[in-house]
Amino acid sequence: MKYRINLLTIGLLLVNLLGQQSAWALPADREKPIHAKSDSANAEKDGIRILTGNVVITQGTIKITGHKVTIYTDKQGNINKVIALGSPAHYEEKPEPNKELIRAYGKKINYMIPQERVEIIVNAKLFQEGNKFTGKRIDYNMKTQTVNAKGDSSKAGGKQRVEMILQPTKTK
């Protein structure tokens, strides 16, 4: 059963649910309110929230955008997964006060909250501290700030390989 709810209700729900999570970028981010903007929002009985049309979700330094964002909650009402679709969908966070924003783009972005992991799928790009990673899929571990990229050996006309541009280590 689907029903329409207004954006203020979705925003308040997100503030309550995401505020309970323990693994957001900057420690203060999880204490900040969540703002969600979209052209429309639907909530389904089974804990799925679907936002469509120029969706922008922010909490502190975290920002997720796409033309469609689906939010999944568990039975206790905690958000456990956010999936953004776009051309491209976008994810960014500031992992530490002294570090640059991490920016990721792809056709699909899966944000797995309990696992502290972001999956960027199809035409994946991730920018971290001046480094650039591209491939079919990129997995980013928020806790360790590590990146794993994969190419596509099944692509017609040859492989889509992983590409990395790594900046030299800065010496003091």
Tell me whether residue 170 is in a domain: no
In the DSSP assignment, the letter for residue 133 is E
Tell me whether residue 59 is in a domain: yes
Tell me whether residue 46 is in a domain: yes
Tell me whether residue 171 is in a domain: no
Q: How many folded domains does the chain comprise?
A: 1
Residue 139, CA distances (Å) to 13, 38, 78, 91, 135 in order: 28, 26, 23, 12, 10
Closest CA to 150 of 137, 159, 134, 166: 137
Closest CA to 86 of 45, 116, 57, 47: 57
Q: Give 10-residue mean pLDDT values along the chain (172 residues).
A: 44 42 56 82 88 93 95 86 96 90 97 91 95 96 91 73 89 68
pLDDT value at residue 9: 42
Tell me whether residue 172 is in a domain: no
Give the structural domain span for 76: 2-165
Tell me whether residue 132 is in a domain: yes
Question: Residue 146 and residue 167: Cα distance in Å, rounded?
Answer: 15
Tell me whether residue 127 is in a domain: yes
Residue 136, CA distances (Å) to 99, 104, 153 in order: 26, 13, 10
CATH code for position 28: 2.60.450.10
Tell me whether residue 119 is in a domain: yes
